[in-house]
Structure 1
C-alpha cells in the first residue's frame, strides 16, 4: 500500500467517525471535529480540503449519501 493510499484511508476513517455523530452535533461542530480527528491521526490537510470535507459531511445529512474522502479531495 502506498503512503498516499494509507493517508486516504486514515482521512476516510476520520470522515466516517465525524459523519456517524454529525446529525446530533451542534451547528459548526463538523469542521472543528474533523480538524480534531485529523490532528489526532497525525494528518495535516490544507484548510480548503478540510472545509470541502466538512461541507460534504453536512450535505450527506441531506441525502447525498456517504462521504468518500478520496472523491472529495480529488
Structure 2
C-alpha cells in the first residue's frame, strides 16, 4: 500500500488494531508492540510499509491516544 492511499475501511481497520495494541502496551516487553501491531494488521488484511509500522509503533509507545489516520497522514 502506498503512502496516503488508504480507504476509510482500511483506516478503520488499522485504528482498531492500534487501539487494541495501545490498550496493553504499557506492560509489554520491548519489541512486543511492533510484533503485535504487525500481527493485527495481517489479521485485518492491511499491509503497511516498514516506516508506517514504525511510526505507529513509536506513537503507541509514547502513550496516550493514537489517531492512525493522522500518524499515517
Alignment of 1:1-74 (within 5 A): 4-60=7-63, 65-74=64-73
List gaps (5 residues or longer) in structure 2. Answer: 1-5
| TM-score, reference length from structure 2 | 0.88
Instruction: Report the RMSD for the aligned CA atoms in angstroms.
Output: 1.0
List gaps (5 residues or longer) in structure 1. Answer: none
| TM-score, reference length from structure 1 | 0.87
What is the total number of aligned residue pairs between the two structures?
68
Extract structure 1 runs of 4+ deviating beyond 2 A: none
